[in-house]
Structure 1
Amino acid sequence: MPHRLWIAVNSILIVLSVIYIWFFRQHDSSSVILAQFLAQIAMVLFLININMYFIFLVIRKTSVRQVKIRLAKFSRVMMKWHISIAVTGTTIIIGHAAINLFEIAPVIGFDNLKLISGYLAIIFLFLTLAAGYLRHKKSSGFRRKFHLTTATIFFLIFLVHMFIPI
């Protein structure tokens, strides 16, 4: 049952972001529209990666053997793509940030709350990538927790950034 709730929360988040970005944050500039599209793609990629934690959590917590086996097989496949998804999402989000720094920032100011939250999200994204790199090179309990903590903080800041109006 908790996995259905988690799927619903992810779906609702994606739908809300689509509605918010495409219906309430419309722009005339084609480059800003591209930046919005890039943000949407990166959000889905980051959600895929962040959801790996919850898959592992269900594997640890569930007592249903079939669920454990199915999720373990799925996670084995997904973990092969985890780093590629993270790097792709980061590349896409850098494009989003660059467009917005050139198009939006001069208009609203570089110290606007939306941009400040974006700066903070980028910092925690790079911290998450660094923590993931360290964990990939040599895994330890501390490195696992550090990677998970930075990813969670990044996700929360990213959610705040996404819904701050300009």
Structure 2
Amino acid sequence: MHHRLWIAVNSILITFSMIFIWFFRPHDSSLVITAQFLAQIAMFLFLININMYFIFLVIRKTSVRKVKIRLAKFSRVMMKWHITIALTATTIITGHAAINLYEIGPAVGFANLKLSSGYLAISLLFVTLVAGYRRHKKASGFRRKFHLTTAMIFFLLFLIHMFIPI
């Protein structure tokens, strides 16, 4: 039951963001359209990584053995890709940021709220990456919680950034 709700929430988020970006924020510039496309891909990849937390939460909380086994096998495979997905998404979102700084920054000002929220989100993304690297090198409860906390705050910030109008 809960997994269906979580799949629905993810699907709604992806669909709503696509509709918002492509229908309510259209642009004439092919570079800005490229930046929007890059942001959409990165959002999808970040969402995959963020969902790992919820998979582990279900594994811990469920009492259904089959669900635990199936999700544990799935998470074992997905965690092998967690770092690759994070670095790929970071590279893509850096391209998005560079294009927007080049194209939109001079037009709206580099202190614009949309750009400022992007600076904050990407800064927290790098904190999350460093926290993840440190956790990967030497795991501890504090490092796990810190990485998780920074990832969730980053997720919230990038959602806010996405819906701030230019």
Q: Tell me if TM exceeds 0.5.
A: yes
* Unpaired segments ≥5 residues, structure 2: none
Runs of 4+ in 1 over 4 A off after TM superposition: none
Aligned to 1:53: 53
CA–CA distance in 1 between the matches of 2:2 and 2:116? Answer: 34
Equivalent residues in 2 for 1:39-78, closer than 5 Å = 39-78=39-78
Which amino acid in the other structure matches residue 45 of structure 1?
L
Deviation at 1:2, TM superposition (A): 1.5
Aligned to 1:17: 17
Deviation at 1:50, TM superposition (A): 0.2
Q: For 1:23, what is the secondary structure of its paired residue? A: helix
Cα-to-partner distance string for 1:112-164 (whole Å, 9 max, x where unaligned): 11011100000110000000000000000000000000000000000000011
Aligned to 1:110: 110
Cα-to-partner distance string for 1:5-61 (whole Å, 9 max, x where unaligned): 111111000000100000010001000000000000000000000000000000000
CA–CA distance in 1 between the matches of 2:140 and 2:84? Answer: 21
In the comparison of the two structures, how many residue pairs are matched?
Answer: 166
Aligned to 1:90: 90
Q: For 1:78, what is the secondary structure of its paired residue? A: helix
User: What RMSD, in angstroms, separates the aligned Cα atoms of the two structures?
Assistant: 0.4
CA–CA distance in 1 between the matches of 2:109 and 2:4? Answer: 42
CA–CA distance in 2 between the matches of 1:72 and 1:56? Answer: 8
CA–CA distance in 2 between the matches of 1:115 and 1:2? Answer: 36
1:137 aligns with 2:137: yes
Which amino acid in the other structure matches residue 5 of structure 2?
L
Which amino acid in the other structure matches residue 19 of structure 2?
I
Aligned to 2:80: 80
CA–CA distance in 2 between the matches of 1:45 and 1:28? Answer: 26
CA–CA distance in 2 between the matches of 1:99 and 1:88? Answer: 17
Which amino acid in the other structure matches residue 33 of structure 1?
I
CA–CA distance in 2 between the matches of 1:24 and 1:62? Answer: 40
CA–CA distance in 2 between the matches of 1:63 and 1:115? Answer: 45
CA–CA distance in 1 between the matches of 2:105 and 2:10? Answer: 30
CA–CA distance in 2 between the matches of 1:155 and 1:43? Answer: 9
Aligned to 1:124: 124
Q: TM-score, normalised by structure 2?
A: 0.99
Which amino acid in the other structure matches residue 30 of structure 2?
S
